[in-house]
Structure 1
Amino acid sequence: MFDSKEFLQSEEWFSFQEAVGKKASLISLEQMLARGVIEKVSLVGNYLYIPKGPIFSLEEASDESVQKQLQKIIKEAQEKKVKWIRIEPENENTLHSLQKNFSGKVVKAPRDIQPRELFVIDITKTKEDILADMKPKTRYNIRLAEKRGVKIFTTREEKYKQAFYDLVEKTADRKEINPHSKTYYENFFAIFPETLCQLFVAEYEGIILAANICIFFRGRAIYLHGGSSDISRDVMAPYLLQWKQIEYAKDHGCTEYDFGGVHVVSSSEGTNDWGGITRFKTGFSPRTNPRLFPGTYDMILDPMMYSFYKTLRLLRTFFHR
């Protein structure tokens, strides 16, 4: 058996998933990691979602090895009566290998779950060099926030956790998206120790302007969730907040800082609705290219039910226009 640096394939992540009521499937084989959760679709049944996986231990696994590992995954999936397995291959080679060695169809899922472009920067350089590599405007905004007296700190105090929940909700309202529940985040803080998970807060003149959750896992810092206020936006608190998170990560032995999803490549394809957040993140290292992933795919175990599922999605889309 082997393990991975991918947080969404970690035992810690699936302990959290079980705590929030998900049924986990912890498949860790000799040459493949395929931990997942059972998701339910009304009128259709269940599917197995393997986030950021499966992951092969070898860069180029043999067809025989892939087939053997796949058989074990499919056997467990069928025992759980799932209709398809939703996967997120780490690269095109993994995707092609799965398509080649799976006896059924592997098709593009109706939508991607995890971002297809991740913006991950190298933080092994000196802090001075990291700052020097930023866009001048990003560097200016960091210094402006410092000059204006924005304070950044980590905390687990209840009042700051409540402020974080409130900011997440306000941010979701502005962006017209559905946020995780307060209970979800309460479980986050209850389950993950401070060595793994930190809440960073940006405060200005006694007002909480922004707050982010960062994960620190096997040498990588991950900016996972955050929220910001529309008050005092001129003091540029989110810029200083990210910079202090990078500094903290570097000081605690991390070599990479993961900003999460961006739309750099997709913007050139005319599908960019992430313009603002992409410009914000890439400003911290404009010469860094995003890491690209194939996206989300479905390995179909029950073709009839999968076809029914696709039809239901089309009908729901039509009637919710």
Structure 2
Amino acid sequence: MKEMNHTRELLQSENWLAFQASVGREIIRFSSDDFLANGIIHRLPLVGTYLYIPRGPITGNSQQSTGNKQQLRGNIQKLIEEAKEKNVKWIRIEPQNEEVLQGIKEAFDGGVLRAPHNMQPKEIFVMDITKDEEMLLAQMKSKTRYNIRLAEKRGVKVFETREEKYIAAFLDLITATSGRKGITSHSREYYKKFFTTLPGEMCQLFVAEYEGRIIAANIVIFYGDTVTYLHGGTADEHRDVMAPYLLQWEQIRVAKARGHYFYDFGGVKTASNQHKAMSKNQESKNKNDWNGITRFKVGFSPQTQSTMYPGAYDIVLDARAYFFYNFLRHPKNIIHSLFR
């Protein structure tokens, strides 16, 4: 797995903070000395609050030199002081790489523990789109390339829009997709906020239409040198026309035409990163779901290595509250304590 080689993290941006505030979340802005740690306050019943720093902190310096280590220590202490003013019990971080994680562990004298679950995908698939279109097509898996051509031949049309009627169609697709796959989606209002909060040059809805019907649609974010496929929904009908393949390809083409360098497909799980700690039935379903998602995304650039993050870690400020939080996460603990 390679380290991140593209710049300007979306989830640490002012635009993302504005979006989070628009959906009713309390945000914290923190930056100091080449150190960025913008975050979101989460409140949990019985436990209290924790601060979540998505895809951060970001530090521009290597942590090898003594001076940089001291600077990181100072920034971490400032962040902790600000968090304590908000009565935060722990700070959930998602470091850029293992070097930054190790630097944070050395900078904080208390506990820095692996979080019980990841907030963002630990493994993502980011494609370099600086080559010309012919080369991008040539490097795809033959099945991916074939399905793009098939969708074109069958008459699937792709366009970008922010019109309300297409946003409504997207919301219906998201609801249908979530129900079909048995996953929990955000509220309809949450998705609408992307279009009322983020400017048009940053956020677009890409739509695939077939025979007058919207059969697939994606929210796509343009930020820095990277374009991100953020949310998507598909209809259960007309799967044979392969609309999602053409939809992604057109998104890549637009990203390239607008001068971006990378296209972020979001989360994947390669064979080396399958989750182990689950029942056999859960593992089988999870593996099958992720196998299909991963195969679809990787097909656009099979020679590209996925990007791996260390995952989520918690800087524990209140050990008692953190223990109680982990205790409450497991219903068996509660039942045992009530009936022992």
TM bracket (short chain): over 0.9
Counterpart of 1:13? 16
Counterpart of 1:129? 135
Does residue 54 of the first structure (1) align with residue 57 of the second (2)?
A: yes
Does residue 251 of the first structure (1) align with residue 254 of the second (2)?
A: no
**1:31·1:69 contact (CA, 8 Å) conserved in 2?**
no
1:206-221 aligned within 5 A: 206-221=212-227
Question: Any idea what SS the aligned residue of 2:95 has?
Answer: coil
1:257-296 aligned within 5 A: 257-267=263-273, 272=287, 273-296=289-312
Counterpart of 1:32? 35
Counterpart of 2:153? 147
Counterpart of 1:306? 322
Question: Any idea what SS the aligned residue of 2:199 has?
Answer: coil
Change (3 A) 1:114 1:317: farther
Question: Residue 69 of structure 1 aligns to which amino acid in structure 2?
Answer: N
Question: Any idea what SS the aligned residue of 1:166 has?
Answer: helix
1:101-250 aligned within 5 A: 101-250=107-256
CA displacement at 1:59 relative to structure 2: 2.6
Question: Residue 59 of structure 2 aligns to which amino acid in structure 1?
Answer: F
The number of residues matched between the two structures is 316
Give distance in 1, aligned partners of 2:77 and 2:273: 39
1:59-98 aligned within 5 A: 59-60=62-63, 62-98=68-104
CA displacement at 1:60 relative to structure 2: 2.5
Question: Residue 141 of structure 1 aligns to which amino acid in structure 2?
Answer: N
**1:86·1:296 contact (CA, 8 Å) conserved in 2?**
yes
Change (3 A) 1:45 1:268: closer
CA displacement at 1:268 relative to structure 2: 5.9
CA displacement at 1:315 relative to structure 2: 2.3
Question: Residue 57 of structure 1 aligns to which amino acid in structure 2?
Answer: G
Q: Deviations over 1:49-88 (max 9, x none)?
A: 0000001121336221111101110010000000000000
Q: Deviations over 1:146-174 (max 9, x none)?
A: 00000000111111000000001111111
CA displacement at 1:219 relative to structure 2: 1.4
Give distance in 2, aligned partners of 1:97 and 1:213: 35
Give distance in 2, aligned partners of 1:100 and 1:59: 14
Consecutive unaligned residues of structure 2, counting only runs of 5 or more, are 1-6, 277-282, 336-340
TM-score by length of 1: 0.96
Give distance in 2, aligned partners of 1:316 and 1:144: 51
Question: Residue 30 of structure 1 aligns to which amino acid in structure 2?
Answer: D
Moved more, 59-68 or 19-28: 59-68
**2:12·2:56 contact (CA, 8 Å) conserved in 1?**
yes
Question: Residue 296 of structure 2 aligns to which amino acid in structure 1?
Answer: F
TM-score by length of 2: 0.90
Give distance in 1, aligned partners of 2:239 and 2:321: 49
Question: Any idea what SS the aligned residue of 2:329 has?
Answer: helix
CA displacement at 1:186 relative to structure 2: 1.4
CA displacement at 1:190 relative to structure 2: 0.4
Moved more, 119-128 or 169-178: 169-178
Consecutive unaligned residues of structure 1, counting only runs of 5 or more, are none
Change (3 A) 1:202 1:294: same
Identity over aligned residues, as a percent? 54
CA displacement at 1:31 relative to structure 2: 2.0
Change (3 A) 1:206 1:191: same
Give distance in 2, aligned partners of 1:37 and 1:8: 11
Give distance in 2, aligned partners of 1:105 and 1:142: 50
Question: Any idea what SS the aligned residue of 1:274 has?
Answer: helix
Give distance in 2, aligned partners of 1:79 and 1:100: 23
Give distance in 2, aligned partners of 1:315 and 1:29: 41
Give distance in 1, aligned partners of 2:100 and 2:161: 40
